Copies of this chain bind each other. A is one copy, B any other.
Amino acid sequence: MSPRGRRPAGADTRGSIVEAARAEFASVGYAAASLRSIARRAGVDPALVHHYFDGKPALFGEVMILPFSPAALLAQLRSAPTDQIGQTLARNFFTLWDGPEGRVRLRAIFASVLTHEEAARPIREFLTDEVFTQVATRADGSALPLAEAKFRGGLAAGQLIGVAILRYVAGYEPLVSASVEDLIAALAPVLQGHLVVTRSDDAA
């Protein structure tokens, strides 16, 4: 650790970077924000941002107070065998949101997206640019056209988001009391079908 920025590393440096990131994501969205532009806004050297945070996804997770590490999730999705992508996504999703802290946070995110357009933008860009595009373009080992990958990613995201709303927010009963394992078993094949183009799809 060798801070050499415009400002000494200190107890509140990390916090000021998070605040700058929050402002930057809200102002320009996830895609256009960079660790450099966030550093500039925080008035610190970019190396300090790299010191505290393992990349933009990690900083986003901190800003959103996500109950998990987006970087770790992305690594898991990248390393999952192609035929396990639906399963990996479903297991991560429900494991991460199913605790009390996750539920509260998820509800806050939904409410924020519905009431503020500017709150929706970084979230949808994070989903688009990091999570679903990356997953969907892996389809069966060969890259899909980006537009199709994003479309398919949206269908999968929609399936998870809708079930999460019914389970965690609206209290639709059979989904509330269902076990995480039942939900994974029911949804993994659907997510797999959305995200991964199989040879039989090509033939059809």
Task: Give A residues with C-beta under 8 Å from B.
Answer: 107, 110-111, 113-115, 117, 120-121, 123-124, 127-128, 147, 150-151, 153-155, 157-166, 169-175, 178, 182, 186-187, 190, 193-194
Query: Quick one: which of A123, A128, A151, A182 has the most chain B CB within 10 A?
Result: A151
Query: Quick one: which of A153, A158, A165 has the most chain B CB within 10 A?
Result: A158
Q: A159-B158, A162-B163 are known contacts. Are A115 and B124 too (CB-CB below 8 A)?
A: no
Cβ–Cβ < 8 Å partners of A165 in chain B = 113, 158, 161-162, 165
Q: Name 8 interchain pairs, CB-CB below 8 A, sorted by A.
A: A114-B169, A117-B171, A159-B162, A159-B190, A162-B162, A162-B164, A165-B165, A190-B193
Cβ–Cβ < 8 Å partners of A123 in chain B = 170
Q: A114-B107, A114-B114, A162-B162 are known contacts. Are A154 and B169 too (CB-CB below 8 A)?
A: no
- A187 & B155 in contact (Cβ 8 Å cutoff): yes
Copies in the complex: 2
- B161 & A155 in contact (Cβ 8 Å cutoff): no
Interface of A is mostly: helix
Distance of A113 Cα from B172 Cα, bound (Å): 12
Q: A161-B166, A166-B157 are known contacts. Are A128 and B190 too (CB-CB below 8 A)?
A: no
Partner of A154, one of B115, B154, B157, B174: B174
Q: Write the nearest CB–CB distance from A202 to chain B, whole angstroms.
A: 16
Partner of A111, one of B114, B117, B150, B194: B114
Cβ–Cβ < 8 Å partners of A121 in chain B = 171
